[in-house]
Structure formats: structure tokens, C-alpha cells
A and B are shown apart, each in its own frame.
Chain A
């Protein structure tokens, strides 16, 4: 399972790695807002304002009986 976060304006990759909320204990990053805070909530490439609502978040995982999420969603 992986997660990508891209700038809504220029498409710059802001995060790639494990799905942030996936780790049961000792997460490296608490949530998406912390990722954006690391950039000062501003895209370093284009200067666009970043918020959890504005960025493109893509989580990739296969469907399971628990969640019924389709692959590539």
C-alpha cells in the first residue's frame, strides 16, 4: 500500500511512501496535515497554498473483504 500527495497547482510530488494512517503503532508521520506543515503549507515549486482539502491524495491498495476498496483508488 502506498500514498502519494501532489500539489493541486503544479503537480509537484509532496509525499510518497507508506499510507500514512496504515501503521498501527509508531507512525513516522501523524497525518497528511503534518506533511503539508513540513512545507510551511506552501508548495516549494509554485508557491500554491496547500491544505488537506486542496492537495491531490492518492492511496493505492488492493480490495479486501474488510474495506472493499478497489485497486488503484
Chain B
């Protein structure tokens, strides 16, 4: 069995939304300026918020551009609005309002945004392109936590930080518990779960779970593979990425979103400027998300998009071959 670095404690699956909800409850109790902006969608821990924070929830309805404008106005008056929605609705539909009314003035608005390839939500809601579209916007911090522990710590950090932040609440199977409770999360800092010698999987969100599984598969083939969790896409931890490339010389990126303008492209940009390194990107390859059948026996979407540990293992071996050709 693979060994892991400090603060890594691989355990049972748990939904990341639970971690977001715990931290959000604590933040609302601590700071009366925090307000929930609803757009006909349930806030995390909605029953608790309905019972305890009813007067701090503002329902804007299915009018997301209006929701962004309301959030901007409240932030300009010193409140801390938290907008919760599918990414395609709360952010993509309101893209211009977020750019113009929130990010240009760098207002202190927080977003919890659902996106990913998993579920029976239909092609309209199963978007994978929104995350990358946000990456070009200045002043926005972007975080995609790997498990419920990191989701809780990231949400706490988001509420402490003064400025706009989006946390991705990924549509995926429940990830493994990856981190121990004393894991020292810091916005903008990647964390090496395992260093490795032959290749490094640089992953975010649910794909960290599949990367963890892939390490065991590859170990059986005699390969020592590291895993670097890059949960903050912006600002990205260039130092940790370059260190992983120096250590192993082969990088596979893994993300539950489009492979255009997401984690893979961000890592490729860093390495092409600082340390050109053989790289394989794992993500959705220029197609739309869609619904699929998910049963205890079969996960049609994980199969369709080839996001399993076995698929990652294939990419790692391909990348190691690239490395050997370069030598």
C-alpha cells in the first residue's frame, strides 16, 4: 500500500457540501454581515439556515443577473453576500454583471458554484466549461476542494479573505476523505499528498480521489507516482508545480471540467515558461457535459469521460513514455 505525507488520512467518502455547510454556518454565526443570496436554489444546510438565518437570506429568484447586482450592491455597503447556484446559472448567465459590478471594483462577494460531469441533471445543467471561463477574470480567487475537510477549511478561509472568491461545489461521486482534521489549508498553496519519483498526478476536486486510487494501481506495476493537490486554481502555486516537475519529470493533470483553460492548461502554462516537462491532460475533451445512468453497479458518466483511476493510470504510463523519449 502507498504511503502518504503528513496530514493525509485516506478515509471513507463524504460529500464536500457538508464541509461547505459546516463552515458557512460558523461564518454566519460569527459575522452578522454575511448574507445568503438565493436564486431559486437551496443553500447548503438549508434547513438550518431557514430555521436560524431566515432574515439573512435574500431570494432573487431565477434572475441571476439581478442576483449578481444585488450582491454587488450589498457588498458595496459592507455586507458579505454569498451567492449559491449552479455555475452555469449563477455565474455564466451573470458573467458580465459579475465582471462589471463585482470584480472590477473587487467587491467582497463569495460564490458557491456547482459544476461537473456527474448526475442526471441534463445537458443544460451538466456544464463543464464555466470553471475555465472564470479563469480569465482578474481579481477572482478560485478554489476546488478535494474533500469535505478541505471544503470546510477553504470555505472558512474564503469568508476570512476580503475579496471575491468562488468555491466549486463539484458534481461528482462523494470523494474519499483525503485530509486529517489538522490539515493546514492555505488559499493559493498546493499540497503534496505523496512525492513520488516516476510521475506526478496534479489533481483538483474529486479527481484527487481517483488519483489516490491510481497510485495503488501503478504501484503494482512498479511505478512510484506522486499526487499534488492543487485546489486553488487562482492564484496557482507555481512553486509547488515546478517542484513536482523537477522531482518526477512527468506530469499528468486531472480535473472534472473542460480540459481547455482549466487546471491542465494552467499547469502547462507554468511549466512551459519555467520548466518544460512532458505532460498529459485529463479532463473533458471539448465536448458538452450530459446526463448518464448512475447505479451502484455502474457509473456511466465516469466511464464515458474516462475519469477512473484505471484511466488515470493509462495517462501516467503514456506520460512516462513521453519522458523517456525526451531523455
Interface residues of A (CB under 8 A from B): 2, 4, 6, 10-18, 28-29, 35, 38-39, 44-45, 71-72
Contact = CB atoms under 8 A, between A and B. Distances in A.
Nearest to B140: A17
Contacts of A12: 157, 160-161, 186-187
Interface of B: 104-106, 138-141, 157, 160-163, 186-189, 234-235, 238, 273
B160 A16 contact: no
A4 B138 CA distance: 12
Given A2-B138, A18-B139, A11 B163 contact: no
B188 A13 contact: yes
17 contacts: A2-B138, A4-B235, A10-B186, A11-B189, A13-B141, A13-B186, A13-B188, A14-B162, A15-B162, A16-B163, A17-B138, A17-B139, A17-B163, A28-B106, A28-B139, A39-B162, A45-B160
A13 B163 CA distance: 11
Nearest to A13: B187
Contacts of A2: 138, 235
Contact of B162 (A6, A38, A45): A38
Contacts of A14: 161-162
Contacts of B186: 10-13
B162 A16 contact: no
Contact of A71 (B139, B140, B235, B273): B273
A45 B238 CA distance: 23
Given A13-B235, A71-B273, A4 B188 contact: yes
Contacts of B141: 13, 16
Nearest to B164: A17
Nearest to A45: B160
Nearest to A28: B106
B105 A44 contact: no
B273 to A, nearest CB: 7
Contacts of A44: 160
